Each structure stands twice: as structure tokens, then as C-alpha cells.
Amino acid sequence: MNDIAVLGAGMHPWGKWGRSFVSYGTAAARAALADAGLGWEDVGSIVGADTMRCGYPGYVAGATFAQALGWQGARVTSVYAACASGAQAIATARAQILAGLADVVLVVGADATPKGFLAPAGGERPDDPDWLRFRVLGATNPAYFALYARRRMALYGDTAEDFAQVKVKNAAAGALNPLARYRARVTAEEIAASAVVADPLRLLDICATSDGGAALVLSSMEFARRYGRPDPVRVRAVSTVSPTYPKAVLDLPDIATDSAAAVSPAPHGFRASIARAAYEEAGLGPEDLSLAEVYDLSTALELEWYEDIGLCGTGEGAKLLREGVTALGGRLPVNTSGGLGSFGEAVPAQAIAQVCELTWQLRGTAGDRQVPGARVGITANQGLFGHGSAVVAVR
């Protein structure tokens, strides 16, 4: 096994704080170092997940955080993969550790987002598919989420009430999480009464944009044993796979699918391939899971992830939800943190934050959110332009 140890996990609470992303990232980094019982001087490498919204310091986040913490000569790396940036940062840290380049690596992601939905960077860029989908189609993120919701309704019989129950479930978990931005339980009636954003999705079906930060202190297993941590939470697999041609289902930011006239699509879509690669590397399967953290940009998309990570068959996500399987206290809770519905998007931080939640759950320190006896967890999301993102953690 190519396991690495998670020695520390830390976050800055999500919200709208009106400060620089650097303050959120350094606060999360210090919290993770304190959790690990290590000092910044003990870190041999720092990997920063970039934010494109925060100017040049955001483009070189690794160096930005290293300078804010105090230059000490550590190896530095900055990575960007849209919403998969955090997972790419974890993968980079893991590769450095397994290659023997550093015993201890600090991974940090943070963001300060604008109000409203996320949009491409400014300027005229007709060769940029993300820019084109806004300019040519007016396809904002909520419009894309709504198309997926309508597809589920047409193919599998999902209803707006099913989507609302995802929010009810995640809000109940988020109410127990002191780091979440939204900590109020909601009812299906309150969701139905919220404004329609992109039919059939309402305001409470769609995650907000937020400020926040998350960090992890990762090390080799040998260092963890020397340091007196013989049984830490371990990262066992990181999947950052790309799609397989042809892509027969619309996937942001592209505004068309590939032709399948000559080549049949792969038996599994892109998102399913992300999880399958993680399971294969970990030597585990969905039957081994204790919990999962998935990318609920919208309530309907969470149901897609149930199927993509192998919790049920295609089209059976809503059935799993209705049976209470994915709620706290259910057989396999999903988004025990409260998910993005409770946090909002802080893009470079969110895949790291998912691993923070797995870490606390697998340690048994998640408080009122605790999944009893949790031993294996998976995270899943994806980034624009075909960036896969899944992490398997074990105890």
C-alpha cells in the first residue's frame, strides 16, 4: 500500500468574512499544524491550491501561504484544477512524500468568492469553453444543475420533493457542524417556498459561494511511527483521472457531447470512473465504506454521486435517499459535514475540507455528527475541463 498519514486537519469557518483568502488559509494551516502537534518549521514542503479570483497571490498560492507563515526554506508547489484543486494538491503532496522528497507536507486551500454564482474570468476568450458557455448559451452553473435535475426527472422519475430531501438531510448535519456557514435545519416546505432559480431547482437546492479555508498536514508512515502515531488516519488512494472519449453526457464547461457514431461510450461515465479508479488503487469497494463526502453543488447532483460512487445502481439514488440510508444514523451517511449546501463553495478549499471531515470521522472525534465505528471513507467531486477528484481515507 502507498499509504500516507494524516497528522493534522484544520479549517477556517466558511462564511462571508470580507477578508483576504490568505487570512483564511493561514488560519486553517495553523489549525492543522496545531492538530498535528507540529510547528511550521517542521514542514518540508507546502502545496497550495490556487484561486483564480484573488489576483496574482492566488495564482501562486503555495508561495503566498509560505510567505504568510514565514519563509523557512520549504519546497513549494502551487496547483490549479478548478473544483478539483484541493485533490490535486493532496495528490502532489502524496507523490512528494512517497518519492522521499519530504517527510511532512502541508496542503492548504482557501478562497474569497464574489456574491452570486461563479462566472469565468473577465475578458474576451472565444477559445475558452467556460467563457463560451456563458456568452453563447447563457449557461450559468445553476442552469447546468437544472438540466441535470430535469434529466433525472425524465429518466428515473425523481421529483422536486426528492431533491428537497437532500437539502433537509444535509442541513440537519450542517446544523451540528460549527465550521459550516449555514447551521439551521430546513423543512421541505421552506425549500418549496424559496425562489425558483433554474426550474426545477430553487434557491435552497443550490449551494452558495463562500469564503473559507482548509488544510492538512500529511506525512510518511515512517515519520508518523517515529512521531508516536502508529495508527493514524491514512490516505490510501487519490484519483485524478480524466474522461474517456467519447463523452456522451454533457459535462461542464463543454456545451456539446462527443459523437458516439463510430466509437461506443465507455460503460461508465466520467464521474463513475473517478470513484472506480480510487477504489481500484485502494483495493477497496463501495461495500467497504462507512461514509462519503460528495460534491452537492445542487441537491440533484448529490443523487448522481450516490450512483457514481457505487452506493446503488443507475437511477436508484432517490430510492436510497427515501430509505434514509444516506442520512446521519443511516447505513451509509453521505455529507456528514453538511456538504456544500451547508458550507457553500470556496473552490480551492472544498476537496481538502472533505478530507478534513473524513479525518475527524475516522478518528471518532466528529461529535454529534459521528458515524459509529467509521473505518473507510471516500470523497468525490470534479473540476472543470475533465479534472477528476476522489480520495479514499482509512483507519
Region 350-365 average pLDDT: 98
Give the ranges where 157-220 is alpha helix by DSSP (H).
160-174, 188-193
Residue 122 resides in a domain: no
- One domain, residues 318 and 230: no
Give the ranges where 175-329 is alpha helix by DSSP (H).
188-193, 221-226, 270-282, 299-308, 317-322
Answer whether residue 1 shows pLDDT above 80: no
Answer whether residue 122 shows pLDDT above 80: no
pLDDT digits 0-9 by tens, 14-73: 999 999 999 999 999 999 999 999 999 999 999 999 998 888 999 999 999 999 999 999
CATH, residue 97: 3.40.47.10
pLDDT (0 to 100) of residue 249:
83
- One domain, residues 261 and 300: yes
Region 287-291 average pLDDT: 98
Q: Across the strands, what pairs with 237? A: 392
Residue 124 resides in a domain: no
Mean residue pLDDT of the chain comes to 95
Q: How far is the C-alpha of 357 from the C-alpha of 290, rounded, in Å?
A: 13
Q: How far is the C-alpha of 370 from the C-alpha of 259, rounded, in Å?
A: 46
- One domain, residues 230 and 354: no
Residue 321 DSSP class:
H
- One domain, residues 90 and 139: no
Q: How far is the C-alpha of 160 from the C-alpha of 215, rounded, in Å?
A: 36
Residue 380 resides in a domain: yes
Residue 282 resides in a domain: yes
- One domain, residues 97 and 136: no
**Element (H or E) spanning 236, and its range?**
strand 233-239
- One domain, residues 231 and 348: no
Residue 142 resides in a domain: yes
Residue 121 resides in a domain: no
- One domain, residues 44 and 159: no
Residue 263 resides in a domain: yes
Q: What percent of the chain has pLDDT over 70?
A: 100
pLDDT digits 0-9 by tens, 260-284: 888 888 888 899 999 999 999 999 9
Q: How far is the C-alpha of 80 from the C-alpha of 246, rounded, in Å?
A: 25
- One domain, residues 84 and 24: yes
Q: Residue 195 is part of which domain span? A: 129-204+236-394
Residue 104 resides in a domain: yes
- One domain, residues 219 and 367: no
Answer whether residue 124 shows pLDDT above 90: no
Answer whether residue 121 shows pLDDT above 80: no
C-alpha cell at 104: 511532512
Instruction: Specify the number of domains making up the chain.
Output: 2
pLDDT (0 to 100) of residue 253:
82
- One domain, residues 24 and 76: yes
Which segment of 6-15, 135-144, 233-242 scores lowest on mean pLDDT?
135-144
Task: Choose among 378, 184, 205: nearest CA to 292.
Answer: 378
- One domain, residues 249 and 361: yes
Q: At what angle do helices 299-308 and 270-282 cross, to 10 degrees?
A: 50
- One domain, residues 135 and 157: yes
